[in-house]
């Protein structure tokens, strides 16, 4: 049975599209880009780094307080070589959207400057460190700026509430719970904030935190 002409036409059109696909060019990459998201292992994290690929093979990468400058080049068919960032492949470069692949992760960029109210990897680290240390002013600052109380870190999947429970920070835990922290979220070890609070129950001042998490976790 011969395929209908319409189907043959569709196949030819698709093959033509593939044949016309071109490798990324330096001219298309040049300019300012904002690294705004990372996806890996089925999860995504917000990012904030300003990257600019300049003519003559130079680039700058700014993620306060860090700033790097170096050289870049394209190697066919899709490798992006940079002095301080190795192993990138260009997965997508179309219009104002750029996706780079590295070690199984996808790094998403948007052409232009980063939004002032977005968060960087350093912001995420500071947020989780504030929960672990009981630094309430810093914790409140990030929550008021819109940081999710349920944001998980990239190392072990801890939420800020889990960090607070690990280090017996009841005031930080209360602040996070008031902002919608989910007591049921688990880290990569499959453990919740309550599991860590039980380990800390003999620490001075941790009994109220354990009781609060038990009450919140009950069906």
pLDDT per residue as tens digits for the range 57-84: 999 999 877 899 999 999 999 999 999 8
Ranges in the chain annotated CATH 2.40.128.280:
28-111
| Average pLDDT over every residue of 166-179 | 93
Cα separation of 66 and 71, whole Å?
Answer: 17
Query: Does residue 146 or residue 96 have the better pLDDT?
Result: 96
CATH architecture of 28-111: Beta Barrel (2.40)
Backbone angles phi, psi at 187, to 5 degrees: -90, -170
Contacts 24+ apart (CB under 8 A), 100-104: 104/40, 104/41
Q: Is the pLDDT of residue 219 over 70?
A: no
pTM above 0.85, yes or no: no
Q: What is the 3-state secondary structure (H, E, C) of 22-60?
A: CCCCHHHHCEEEEEEEEEECCEEEEEEEEEEEEHHHEEE
Query: For residue 117, what pLDDT is reported?
Result: 77
Ranges in the chain annotated CATH 1.25.40.20:
121-217
Return the bridge partners of 44, or none: 39
- Collect all residues with Cβ–Cβ distance below 8 Å to 103 and sequence separation of at least 6: 87
| Average pLDDT over every residue of 28-49 | 89
Q: What percent of the chain has pLDDT over 70?
A: 88
Helix (H) or strand (E) segment spanning residue 9:
helix 5-20
Start-to-end C-alpha separation, the chain: 61
Query: For residue 62, what pLDDT is reported?
Result: 92
CATH architecture of 121-217: Alpha Horseshoe (1.25)
Helix (H) or strand (E) segment spanning residue 144:
helix 136-145
Cα separation of 120 and 37, whole Å?
Answer: 9
Query: Does residue 183 or residue 3 have the better pLDDT?
Result: 183
| Average pLDDT over every residue of 7-25 | 50
Query: Does residue 153 or residue 203 have the better pLDDT?
Result: 153
**pLDDT band per the 50, 70, 90 thresholds, residue 17:** very low
| Average pLDDT over every residue of 91-113 | 94
Query: For residue 15, what pLDDT is reported?
Result: 40
What is the distance of C-alpha 38 from the center of its chain? Answer: 4
Query: For residue 173, what pLDDT is reported?
Result: 94
**pLDDT band per the 50, 70, 90 thresholds, residue 202:** low
**pLDDT band per the 50, 70, 90 thresholds, residue 130:** very high
Cα separation of 106 and 131, whole Å?
Answer: 28
Q: Residues 67, 77: contact at Cβ < 8 Å? A: no
Residue owning tokens 């001042």? 205
Return mean pLDDT, the chain: 85
Cα separation of 53 and 29, whole Å?
Answer: 7
Query: For residue 201, what pLDDT is reported?
Result: 63
């Amino acid at each position: 049975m011969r395929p209908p002409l319409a189907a043959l036409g569709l196949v030819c059109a698709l093959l033509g599209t593939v044949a016309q696909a071109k490798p990324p060019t330096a001219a298309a990459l040049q300019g300012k880009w904002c690294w705004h998201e990372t996806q890996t292992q089925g999860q995504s994290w917000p990012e904030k780094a300003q990257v600019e690929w300049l003519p003559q093979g130079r680039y700058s990468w700014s993620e306060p307080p860090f700033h790097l400058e170096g050289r870049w080049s394209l190697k066919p068919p899709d490798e992006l070589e940079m002095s301080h960032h190795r192993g990138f492949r260009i997965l997508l470069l179309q219009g104002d959207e750029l996706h780079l692949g590295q070690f199984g992760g996808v790094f998403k960029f948007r052409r232009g400057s980063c939004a002032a109210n977005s968060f960087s990897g350093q912001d995420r680290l500071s947020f989780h460190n504030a929960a672990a240390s009981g630094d309430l002013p810093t914790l409140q600052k990030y929550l008021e700026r819109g940081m999710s109380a349920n944001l998980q870190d990239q190392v072990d999947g801890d939420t800020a509430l889990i960090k607070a429970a690990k280090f017996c920070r009841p005031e930080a835990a209360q602040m996070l719970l008031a902002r919608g922290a989910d007591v049921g979220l688990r880290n990569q070890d499959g453990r919740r904030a309550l599991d860590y609070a039980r380990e800390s129950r003999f620490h001075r001042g941790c009994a109220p935190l354990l009781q609060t998490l038990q009450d919140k976790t009950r069906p």
